[in-house]
Homo-oligomer: A and B are copies of this chain.
């Protein structure tokens, strides 16, 4: 099956590039409210499931034990831009559990945020593991291991109790079996299991509504959502789609981007969860398709963002990024 074109990039009179992909939107009862493209083929959710990977941090009692509040919980769910704010808070999380940057297993990379990268260069410093966009998630994993008396060494390995606990939560939340045959490794070295988009959409519908969740899990999910809406700047950073949308629509839209063109999210008041993947893995298309879905229900007038590639270096618009007619048709038929 060839996925449909979701996003088109025009220049002058022509469509210059296009992005195929698939999207699933599920409602609280698990039924598909929208499906376009192949929503059955498994994909790696990558960072889009960080909020679910953070559940053990709360459910084990580790977050409360170490006095982690909304900021720390938001950072555990974040793909952050590596600003001074993000790195300082993650360093403080590590200090509170008696560890430091060296305990992290995520590896260093330049801050995702342009301003943060510039500031780091200007100060002639190299990026540390704190700058890794996943450092908050890793600090949360270390906190859980320490609280439960597990070794912190190798906490990122697939057979470590920290990863097995996360795997168990994902199996419960998704209702599908997840074994070694569907396991790859994320850029930050932790395991990432493939799932169909339809499964991911149902998982985020449950996440949005609490439908079918045990009372303790419902409380943990609500705490995670509240933390992300309270601190949207910690989830990603300035100029990022997730931060902008969650700042505009707290309580109404939860969004989380993942690498290779993945996006997942939840619309609590509509009772919907969604998951999409762009075949080619590009961010401009994943964010564009996500914004088209968000604006279908909550017209923010933000457009599809990521417009850099359709402007000249003098700032003149010479093209556009838009939803395809097929995608617009599908969105129009979406029952909210």
Which residues of the partner chain B approach A313 to less than 8 Å between Cβ atoms? 106-109, 132, 187-189
The residue of chain B having its C-beta at the shortest distance from the C-beta of A134 within the complex is B313
Which residues of the partner chain B approach A309 to less than 8 Å between Cβ atoms? 259-260, 281
Which of A6-14, A74-82, A218-226, A267-275 lies at the interface with chain B? A6-14
A319 on interface, CB distance cutoff 8 Å: yes
Residues 95-111 of chain A: 1 if any B CB is under 8 Å from the residue's CB, otherwise 0?
00000000001111100
A17 pairs with B181, CB closer than 8 A: no
Given contacts A260-B309, A313-B106, contact A44 B16 (CB under 8 A): yes
Which size bracket describes the interface of A in this complex?
Answer: 35 or more
- Considering the complex, which residues of chain A in the window 276-290 have a beta carbon less than 8 Å from any beta carbon of chain B? 278-282, 285
Which of A118-126, A167-175, A201-209, A231-239 lies at the interface with chain B? A118-126
Given contacts A18-B280, A313-B107, contact A181 B13 (CB under 8 A): yes
A38 on interface, CB distance cutoff 8 Å: no
Residues 38-79 of chain A: 1 if any B CB is under 8 Å from the residue's CB, otherwise 0?
000011100000000000000000000000000000000000
Which residues of the partner chain B approach A20 to less than 8 Å between Cβ atoms? 20, 279-280
Most buried by B among A11, A188, A259, A311: A11
A185 on interface, CB distance cutoff 8 Å: yes
A318 on interface, CB distance cutoff 8 Å: yes
A137 on interface, CB distance cutoff 8 Å: no
B281 pairs with A189, CB closer than 8 A: no
Most buried by B among A17, A42, A44: A17
Given contacts A122-B124, A280-B19, A312-B188, contact A194 B14 (CB under 8 A): yes
A312 pairs with B186, CB closer than 8 A: yes
B181 pairs with A107, CB closer than 8 A: no
A281 pairs with B17, CB closer than 8 A: yes
Which residues of the partner chain B approach A164 to less than 8 Å between Cβ atoms? none
Which residues of the partner chain B approach A124 to less than 8 Å between Cβ atoms? 122
Most buried by B among A14, A18, A280, A311: A280
* Min CB–CB distance A11 → chain B (angstroms): 4
A279 pairs with B312, CB closer than 8 A: no
Name 7 interchain pairs, CB-CB below 8 A, sorted by A.
A12-B182, A13-B181, A13-B184, A16-B260, A107-B312, A132-B313, A189-B316
**A residues near B, CB below 8 A?**
2, 9, 11-14, 16-20, 42-44, 105-109, 117-118, 121-122, 124, 132, 181-189, 192, 194, 259-261, 278-282, 285, 309, 311-316, 318-319
